[in-house]
Structure 1
Amino acid sequence: MIGCDLGSNTLRIVKIDCQSKARILAFERIVRTAKDLHITGRIGEQAKENIFNALHEASALFDFKNERCFCVTTEAMRVASNAQEILNEIETTFGLTFRIITGKEEAFLTSLAIENALKREGFDPTIYALFDLGGGSTEFTFCKNGDKQSQSFPFGIINVAERYKTDLEQNIASIVGSIDGFIQKQKTTIPSNFLQLVTTAGTPTTVAAFLEGLDYNHYDANVVNGKVLHINDFEEAYERLTTMNLDEAERYTGTNRRDLVIVGILIVKAIMKKLGFETCIVIDDGLREGVVLEQCYNLYKS
């Protein structure tokens, strides 16, 4: 079964075996869906071209026509005025129907993937605090023994990087402050109640790979999954990436991604401090896996 996640920054596709819940094939391309969206209110022509090029490339790897495919898209398509026009064209060209999901749905589906991955990597999948830092939104889930509370916030690495060119740390601290109300609903400290912090998405996985010496073209999810990073590890990655020359840095972050990763690191650090955790568990699995796992579970129920 195939799952597709067209995010505000990245197109991610995966094929999973429903019985073993193991990945058979994975694909990822930076498409920058949300580039300049906060200015124009539309998905731009360059972003559209990036998406179509990536889907053409993926079409050579995945049998979209003959296998069951479940496709979702998130914040950029939630707000773009031309979203449906582009999604209709994708359906006509590739036969893929992308469904625009809410932030709450996004958080729930991501949590399914995280729980499966935590169990696989030897962590407790029943209690955790989770944040998924995307390109256009960030989803938080607090889970304790099956009771989940989730909320999506409209900030991510692309809209923060494009809006704030100066005083980044101060602006990010202010933006991350928007989660205060959600935290206060817990009526206790997050670390004492949820014990472990889990994070997914491009920034933490890139940092984990970078600190292991893996460049962008040799990224290995098996190395990244379950890696525990201290907040000081993000600080080390920040210092190294900001002082490297651009070509060297982009060998690790990917082309045109250094600035986004640097902004992402600052957001991750601010979130960790806000939630009160010094360490986090990095998981590569995310929304695309959750989309498939939900269908797998539904298949078994039926």
Structure 2
Amino acid sequence: MKEYIGIDLGSNSLRCVRMNKDFEVLGEYEETIRTAEGLEENKVIGEAALGRIIKALKKAKEVLNITPNDEVIALSTQALREAKNRDFILRSIKEATAISFQVISGEEESFITSLAPQRAVLALSQKSLKYQQECFLLIDMGGASSEFIFCTPQGIFAKSFAVGIVSVKERYGSIENLLAHKEEIISPIRDFMQQNAKEGRVAKFLVANSGTPTSVCAMKLGLKVYDSKKIFGMELQRSDFEEQLQKFLLLCQEERETLWGIFKADVVPFGILLFLSFMEVLGSKEVLVIDEGLREGAVMARVYGKI
């Protein structure tokens, strides 16, 4: 059976998956690489970030045993959309790893990202009446952008906002300053929600598939080693985010980095507060967490003939 490699080069993480045409996951690889480091200030991806990207891709090729016979669908998002040196970065990656990346638009990202969660929600709806609803809202909060995606029987209706866990950290510097500027972050999102409500789209429940909600799930479960299968289908309340944030802030820097790594630990509180802000503006008290997104969607879109 033919196999595919889906690669998501995000603004904070590199996520890779090996799947067959029936969308069975045969292998996974993920690493925090901080692609968007410094991007907020100078609009270029630096040499250090490029080095981390290339090193992680080489490791992914080893872990997933990627060969020239595999069909690789490699996509990149907001960081590469913004970077002035995008062509140089893409050329350097290809020369070092033989992997060619396609930089997709926010609209394309929303569509591809929504494919796997829609499939997952359909499966969950067979077991729970709670998810047998025609419209839900998917939030994919990344390092430099966040996509808000209404999933309906008529298709998706989405918007990408240039705000993410790395960009807000670099833009505001502290969680206190982030909270002081919360209104300027959520105001455009509120406008988007109100416009969709006028057009008859009202989400019956909220779904998230990004690193912050999945990390909060892992923290709540006390996982020492991340396991996406244990995360799948978990529900988080606002109080879970607040509780895990307080526990995180009580840790010393060494403990934070031991648990989450040097390139993730410093953005965890920003991610939690940003997601709480999203839940607040949406009026949502809970969120369904699914650890499937762009990398799985890349394979699904290729199999479906969409890309």
C-alpha contact (below 8 Å) 1:221/1:284 kept by paired residues: yes
Among candidates 201, 210, 214, match of residue 210 of structure 2: 201
User: Does structure 1 conserve the Cα–Cα contact (< 8 Å) formed by 2:32 and 2:263?
Assistant: no
Deviation at 1:200, TM superposition (A): 1.3
Report whether the alignment pairs 1:50 with 2:55. Answer: no
Which of 25, 28, 31 aligns to 1:26? It is 28
User: 1:93, 1:65 → 2: CA distance?
Assistant: 15
Unaligned runs of 5+ in 2: 126-130
Single out whichever of 75-84 and 138-147 deviates more from structure 2.
138-147
Alignment counterpart, residue 102 of structure 2, candidates 99, 106, 109: 99
Q: Distance in 1 between matches of 2:132 and 2:51?
A: 41
| C-alpha deviation, 1:193, in angstroms | 2.5
Structure 1: segments with no counterpart, 5+ residues: none
Paired residue for 1:214, among 211, 216, 223? 223
1:179 & 1:49 partners in 2: Cα distance? 34
Could you tell me which of 156, 168, 177 is aligned with 2:178? 168
Mapped to 1, the partners of 2:121 and 2:259 lie a distance apart of: 26
* Cα distance, 1:258–1:93 mapped onto 2, change above 3 Å: closer
Aligned residues: 295
State the one-letter code of the partner of 2:52.
Answer: N
**Does residue 81 of structure 1 match 2:119?**
no
Q: TM-score, normalised by structure 1?
A: 0.93
180-189 vs 87-96, which moves further: 180-189
In 1: Cα distance, 2:56 partner to 2:182 partner: 31
- 1:294 aligns to what SS in structure 2? helix
TM-score (norm 2): 0.91
**Alignment-derived partner of residue 282 in structure 2:** 275
Match of 2:192 in 1: 182
| Percent sequence identity over aligned pairs | 35
Measure how far apart 1:126 and its partner are: 4.6
Residues 36-94 of structure 1 deviation map (CA, whole Å, 9 limit, x = unaligned) = 01212210011001001101111212324110001110101001111111111222222
Give 1:244's aligned residue: 251
Aligned partner of residue 129 in structure 1, secondary structure? strand
Q: Identify the match of residue 165 of structure 2 among 153, 157, 161.
A: 157
Q: CA deviation at 1:98?
A: 0.3
Mapping for residues 102-113 of structure 1, pairs under 5 Å? 102-113=105-116
**CA distance in 1: counterparts of 2:190 and 2:206, whole angstroms:** 17
Q: C-alpha offsets along residues 254-285 of structure 1, whole Å, 9 cap, x if unaligned? A: 33422211100001100001011100001110
